[in-house]
Structure 1
């Protein structure tokens, strides 16, 4: 936004999500194909490394991780009783 000369940045300051790191934490896998399989998703190795396919799989994997977190109790985090 700064380089474009925009006065109002439309993006939240935290716009980067590292799906590989999230996959490592949530699934124990940081390689896209292995993480997808660990998440129970299909992964077509013949389409791997296609920009479109990898992007779609990464987006689906991110959603799976977030939804899994939500199913496990997710947000809001329970407050510890004092």
Structure 2
């Protein structure tokens, strides 16, 4: 992580970072959390407003994200309209 930070100039805010595990032993999880000095994340959690889930993305999860995108696009389109012709 330190190499990444020095190479990119980006700094991590460890209070906002979480580590997510797959099939790890408890001993290995503990070691990773100690080395990274971060907390363990549990699903479901959100990243940039998108829910992180284990397994396949369901229609319900995808529809939430798609609806947010549609709302953004509609607001952008509305700002591009010209009212001079009215």
> Which of the two has greater strand per residue?
2
Structure with more relative contact order (C-alpha pairs < 8 Å, separation 6 or more): 1
Q: Return the index of the structure with the highest Cα Rg.
A: 2
Query: TM bucket by the smaller chain?
Result: 0.3 to 0.5
TM-score (norm 1): 0.33
- TM (norm. structure 2) is 0.32
